[in-house]
Amino acid sequence: MKEALFVKRNAEKWKHYEQNQTVSTDELAKKFVELTDDLAFSKTFYPKSATTKYLNGLTSSFHQSIYKNKKEKKSRFITFWTQELPLIFYQERRQILYAFIFFMIAVVIGAASAKYNEDFVRLIMGDAYVNMTNENIAKGDPFAVYKQSGEVIMFLQIAFNNIRVSFLAFIFGIFCSLGTVTLLFRNGIMLGTFQYFFYSKNLGLASLLVIWLHGTIEITSIVIAGAAGLVLGNSILFPGTLPRKTAIFMAAKNGIKIVIGLVPLFLLAAFIESFFTRYTQMPTFLSAAVLILSFAFVVWYFIIYPQIINRKQINGTT
């Protein structure tokens, strides 16, 4: 069946469904099943079309409405992270990829600039930090900065700052994504400069084993928060088949869910940085184990698991 005919046969039904989502849970479930059938057909025969994108958004909206209307109480808190949020990650996977690309370009720019311009490191990291770190390196404890504050105070400060940055990354998306891209570039350049600084001191591997204990989850979460900003910004620029007001509303709702869903991860990263990273003489095998587990979690939760949840949704088994 040609796509035009498929759309013609179902357009009125989809429009009716889109405008009437405040019905009983049973009726929502019935419509959801029909939509997943249409989505599966569209993904099979028109995988990259605007129709598939539209149906994916409409189906996701119904999926969220069903869970909103269920009497889940305590289980609702669990399903948010186990089903709803991963489904949003899958739906917005392109924006996550774009955020990652923007960030990595900035990391490369930061590292290259630090390599070819000695003053760049001080410009980005500040004279006080560079001087302090050089003194710590001379004393044989290059990462002593992680030991300066008490564990609890450090945890609260780091958690607050990272959560603040994640919400700014989302909110700045309102400026047609430019604000979010700027924030991603700023943080990426800082990271690239920071890593090259330690590499230039022959501490590249040591910095990976120490800094990335918390950095794996922390940096990934910042990139995902940037993706939330791109979702918001792109809904303004490219509303697709939806009215711009509707597209912005749906994007804002998904973006807020993403940044709220990242809060536990920022708390976890802050906990690791405050209570574990300070032990800079940790055995290599233990640091490597934490790094591997963190990386495995990131790949699983942000890439693999969302695909599994999406597949279950299409098959009607979620």
> What count of other Cβ atoms lies within 10 Å of the Cβ of residue 113?
18
Domain containing 217 equals 93-301
Phi and psi (nearest 5°) for 109? -60, -45
**Cα(290)–Cα(216) distance, integer angstroms:** 10
Alpha-carbon distance of 238 to 248, in angstroms, equals 10
Give the pLDDT confidence score for residue 109 in this predicted structure. Answer: 97
Q: What is the pLDDT of residues 283-308, one digit of tens each?
A: 888 889 999 999 999 999 999 999 99
At position 265, the amino acid (one-letter code) is L
Residues 132-182 have pLDDT tens digits of 999 999 988 888 888 877 889 999 999 999 999 999 999 999 999 999 999
> Which has the minimum average pLDDT: 46-60, 121-135, 223-237?
46-60
Does a structural domain hold residue 273?
A: yes
Could you tell me if 126 and 261 lie in one domain? yes
Q: Is residue 306 part of a domain?
A: no
307 within domain boundaries = no
Asked, for residue 137, whether it belongs to a domain, the answer is yes
Instruction: Identify the domain boundary among 71, 101, 118.
Output: 71
Q: Does 315 map to a domain?
A: no
The letter for the amino acid at 300 is W
Return the percentage of the chain with pLDDT > 90, whole number.
Answer: 54
DSSP secondary structure code for residue 317 in this structure: -
Q: At what angle do helices 50-69 and 25-45 cross, to 10 degrees?
A: 160
**Is there a domain that residue 290 lies in?**
yes
Q: How many Å separate Cα 241 from the centre of its chain?
A: 25
- Say whether both 20 and 161 belong to one domain: no
Q: What single-letter DSSP state applies at residue 42?
A: H
Q: Tell me how far the alpha carbon of residue 28 is from its chain's centroid.
A: 29
Q: Are 217 and 268 in contact (CB under 8 A)?
A: yes
Residues 122 and 202 both lie in one domain: yes
Chain segment 46-56, per-residue pLDDT in tens: 888 888 888 88
Instruction: Examine the domain organization and report whether 20 and 162 are in the same domain.
Output: no
* pLDDT at residue 99 greater than cutoff 70: yes
Can you give the C-alpha Rg of the chain in angstroms? 23
Q: Are residues 67 and 105 in the same domain?
A: no
Tell me, yes or no, whether 144 and 200 share the same domain: yes
- pLDDT for 74 equals 53
In the structure, what pLDDT confidence band is assigned to residue 272 with cuts at 50, 70 and 90? very high
Mark whether 274 and 166 lie in a shared domain.
Answer: yes
User: Considering its fold, how many domains does the chain have in total?
Assistant: 2
> 22-36, 191-205, 242-256, 267-281: which range is least confident on average?
22-36
Q: Are residues 150 and 186 in the same domain?
A: yes
In a domain? residue 284: yes
Look at residues 178, 172, 162, 185 and name the one whose alpha carbon lies nearest to residue 255.
172
Main-chain dihedrals φ then ψ at residue 23, nearest 5 degrees: -120, -175
**Looking at per-residue confidence, does 179 or 23 come out higher?**
179
65 & 135 share domain:
no
In a domain, 156, yes or no: yes
* Band of pLDDT at residue 313, cut at 50, 70 and 90: confident
Q: Is 112 in the same domain as 62?
A: no
**Is 212 in the same domain as 293?**
yes
33-45 tens-digit pLDDT: 777 878 878 887 8
Residues 202 and 258 in one domain: yes
Instruction: Calculate the alpha carbon distances from 207 to 31, 60, 62, 287 in Å.
Output: 53, 41, 46, 11
pTM: 0.76
